[in-house]
Amino acid sequence: GKETRLRVVLRVRPLTCSETRRGDRRVVHSLGDGTVHVSAARQDATFGFSAVFDAGDSQEAVFEGSGMRQLVELAIDGFSCTVFAFGQTGSGKTYTLMGPLGQSETPPASPALLGLMQRSFACLLEQSRSRGSDLALSASYLEIYNEQVRDLLSPGPSCTLPLRWSKTRGFYVENQLSVDFESLEAIASLLLQALNPPLAGSQRRRTSAHALNRHSSRSHALLTIHIRSRNVSIACPSRQGTLCFVDLAGSERVKETGSSGELSVEANNINRSLLALGHCISMLAKPRGKRTHIPYRDSKLTRLLARSLGGSGITLMVACISPSSRCLSETLSTLHYASRARRVTTRP
Ligand code: ADP
Ligand code: MG
């Protein structure tokens, strides 16, 4: 029940080939020691985080240096753990969580590129094996799109699921599927299927990676691993932990002009949940005595994250930014948002 601060780490991705080709400048520099410096014409600022990962840092370095391994261990011990990736579209959120898997239909060629998710699964399964298969693992995978919750694991046409609240469970999604898994292959293929769903009808076509990315930047995806210890004894009472991975929709402001009809509904809904998340974080960042009501009910996303943010959860936030001069204003807004989140505390 001790107050614990949200752990916030920053990842700066490398300049992409096209950014380099068009001559973008790097305006973000890691100074070591968890600080990062942003320098541009009239903006000059330094920010500090629990850790900063730069263009040269590998996926493994992010897994080991972010505290992700400890988070997995805490989830095994029965805590509710959440890691969420935040930042504008194209800043590296999905890459950090899943590696290139998020962009293609085949597993990545090199294991070195595997993201936080796959590394955590490996860690979980390793722990389970070393405990004599003591851990029962299952996964559920939801997306929030246009303020509707959908089950990404349901095999049929996607239907929306109701979000409910109860005194004992807090906010929860009714009727969500939960699929057991016992191997890396099983959980990897579950993810691939969810990311490349066969379309309705007889034609088993797959959505293109491009369309997928466009869609994923407008939805929030939550993968939850439920961990239950099977061997229950007096010395070792029943424990049930969760490990939740949240890939948030892109944080960029959708320009008022140009988006109309369906798109603007989408944009408003993205802004609504991210704004609600921002409000909750600002409120939670105040000292406990000075807090007023935390507006979790303002969006589906904040309802689902209520426990991770303000309750009994343990949370790691990975803020992702591009180093490019062209992304400066979004980068600064992500850095301010992430700095605020560092003041949020929970009582695990
Ligand atoms: P987001 O999910 O935030 O929209 P992505 O994860 O899709 O962004 O990343 C955008 C592009 O940048 C992708 O082509 C991805 O492969 C590349 N990328 C992101 N982070 C890195 C990194 N750390 N190293 C190499 N390439 C990266
Ligand atoms: Mg993405």
> How is the beta sheet containing 35-39 ordered, strand by strand?
28-32, 35-39, 44-48
- Give the per-residue pLDDT at 198: 58
- Give the per-residue pLDDT at 208: 47
Index of the ligand 1 atom closest to the CA of residue 57: 23
Index of the ligand 1 atom closest to the CA of residue 103: 7
The residue type of 89 is T
Q: Which residues contact 233 (CB under 8 A, 6 or more apart)?
A: none
Which residue stretches of the chain have pLDDT < 50?
A: 200-208, 255-259
Give 200 Cα–ligand 1 centroid separation in angstroms.
Answer: 30
pTM: 0.90
- Give the per-residue pLDDT at 214: 60
Question: How is domain 4-100+113-131+234-346 classified at the architecture level of CATH?
Answer: 3-Layer(aba) Sandwich (3.40)
Domain boundaries, the chain: 4-100+113-131+234-346
- What are the pocket residues of ligand 1 if the criterion is a CB atom closer than 6 Å to any ligand atom? 13-14, 16, 87, 89-95, 100, 217, 250, 320
- Give the per-residue pLDDT at 197: 63
- Give the per-residue pLDDT at 211: 55
Give 90 Cα–ligand 1 centroid separation in angstroms.
Answer: 6
Q: Whose CA is nearest to atom 17 of ligand 1?
A: 92
Give 100 Cα–ligand 1 centroid separation in angstroms.
Answer: 8
CA–CA gap between residue 284 and residue 124 (Å, rounded): 31
